[in-house]
Amino acid sequence: MDLSTTYMGLNLRNPLVVSASPLSRSIDNLRRLEDAGVGAIVNYSLFEEQITNEIYEMDHYLMAGTESFAESLSYFPNPSETNIGPEEYLEHIHKAKKSVGIPIIGSLNAHSDGGWVTYAKQIQQAGADALELNIYFLATDPLVSSQRVEEIYIDILKAVKMNVTIPVAIKISPFFSAMANMAVRLDEAGADAVVLFNRFYQPDIDLESLTVIPNVLLSTPQAMRLPLRWVAILYGHINANLAATGGIHTPEDVIKMIMAGADVTMLCSVLLKNGADYAADILEGVEQWMKEREYVSISQMRGSMSQKFCANPESFERANYMKSLRSFH
Partner 1 sequence: MARKQVTIDGNEAAAYVAFAVNEVIAIYPITPSSPMGEWADEWYSANRKNIWGTIPLVQEMQSEAGVAGAIHGALQTGALSTTFTCSQGLLLMLPNMYKIAGELTPTVFHIAARAIATQGLSIFGDHQDVMAARMTGFAMLCSDSVQEVMDMAMIAHAATLESRLPFVHFFDGFRTSHEVAKIEQLSVEDIQAMIDEELVLAHRKRRLTPDSPVIRGTAQNPDVYFQGREAVNIFYQNCPSIVQKVMDKFAKLTGRQYHLFDYYGASDADRVIVIMGSGAEACQDTVDWLIKDGQKVGVLKVHLYRPFAIEQFVAALPKTVKSVAVLDRTKEPGSCGEPLYLDVVNAFVEAGNGWVPNIVGGRYGLSSKEFTPAMIKGVYDELLKGSPKKHFTIGINDDVARTSLVYDRNLSIETKEGVRALFYGLGADGTVSANKNSIKIIGENTPMYAQGYFVYDSKKSGSVTVSHLRFGPKPIHASYLVSKANFVGCHQFQFLESYDVLKDIEEGGVFLLNSTYGPDEICQIIPRTTVETIKNKKLRFFVIDAYSVARKVGLGQRINTIMQTCFFAISGVLPKEEAISAIKETIKKTYSKKGEEILRMNYDAVDHTLVHLHEVKVPEKITSTVAMNHAIPAGAPEFVRNVTSIMISGQGDNLPVSALPCDGTYPVGTTQWEKRNIAQEIPVWDKDICIQCGKCALVCPHAVIRIKAYDAKYLQGSPSTFKSMEAKDRDWQGMKYTIQVAPEDCTGCGICVDVCPVKNKSETKLKAINMKPQPPLREEEKKNWEFFLKIPETDRNAVKKNAVRSSQALQPLFEFSGACAGCGETPYIKLATQLFGDRMVVANATGCSSIYGGNLPTTPYTKNNQGRGPAWSNSLFEDNAEFGLGFRLSIDKQKELACELVKKLESALGTQLVEEIINAKQVDEADIFQQRQRIEILKEKLKNNLSADAKLLLTIADMLVKKSVWIIGGDGWAYDIGFGGLDHVISSGRNVNILVLDTEVYSNTGGQMSKSTPRSAVAKFAAGGKSMPKKDLARIAMTYGYVYVASVSMGAKDEHTLKAFLEAEAYDGPSLIIAYSHCIAHGINMTTAMQNQKAAVASGYWPLFRFNPELLKEGKNPFQLDSGVPKGALGDFTGLENRFKMLTKSDPEAAKRLYQLAQQDINQRWQIYSAMASNLQNDNPAPQGGLSAKGG
Write out the residues near partner 1 by the rule CB under 8 A.
Answer: 51-52, 54-59, 61-85, 88, 210-211
10 Å Cβ neighbour count for 87?
Answer: 13
* Nearest residue to 216 (alpha-carbon basis) of 16, 21, 17: 21
Minimum CB separation of residue 27 from partner 1 in Å reads 13
Minimum CB separation of residue 30 from partner 1 in Å reads 16
User: Residue 83 or 146: which CB sits closer to partner 1?
Assistant: 83
User: Residue 210 or 311: which CB sits closer to partner 1?
Assistant: 210
- Classified as helix, coil or strand, 171 is strand
User: Residue 71 or 292: which CB sits closer to partner 1?
Assistant: 71
DSSP string computed for 204-255: EEETTTTEEE---PPPPGGGGHHHHHHHHHHTTT-SSEEEEESS--SHHHHH
Minimum CB separation of residue 75 from partner 1 in Å reads 4
User: Radius of gyration of the chain from Cα atoms?
Assistant: 22
User: Residue 59 or 151: which CB sits closer to partner 1?
Assistant: 59
- Classified as helix, coil or strand, 169 is strand
Residues 254 and 257: their CA atoms lie apart, in Å, by 5
Q: Which residues contact 318 (CB under 8 A, 6 or more apart)?
A: none
Minimum CB separation of residue 81 from partner 1 in Å reads 6
Minimum CB separation of residue 57 from partner 1 in Å reads 7
**Spatial contact of 30 and 24, defined as CB atoms under 8 Å apart:** yes
Residues 50 and 11: their CA atoms lie apart, in Å, by 33
User: Residue 60 or 318: which CB sits closer to partner 1?
Assistant: 60
Minimum CB separation of residue 22 from partner 1 in Å reads 9
Residues 20 and 165: their CA atoms lie apart, in Å, by 21
User: Residue 123 or 264: which CB sits closer to partner 1?
Assistant: 123
User: Residue 9 or 65: which CB sits closer to partner 1?
Assistant: 65
Minimum CB separation of residue 118 from partner 1 in Å reads 8
User: Residue 273 or 291: which CB sits closer to partner 1?
Assistant: 273
Q: Are strands 5-7 and 10-12 parallel, antiparallel or unpaired?
A: antiparallel
10 Å Cβ neighbour count for 273?
Answer: 11
Minimum CB separation of residue 109 from partner 1 in Å reads 16
Give CA separation, 210 vs 49, 56, 205, 213, 217, in Å: 27, 28, 7, 9, 20
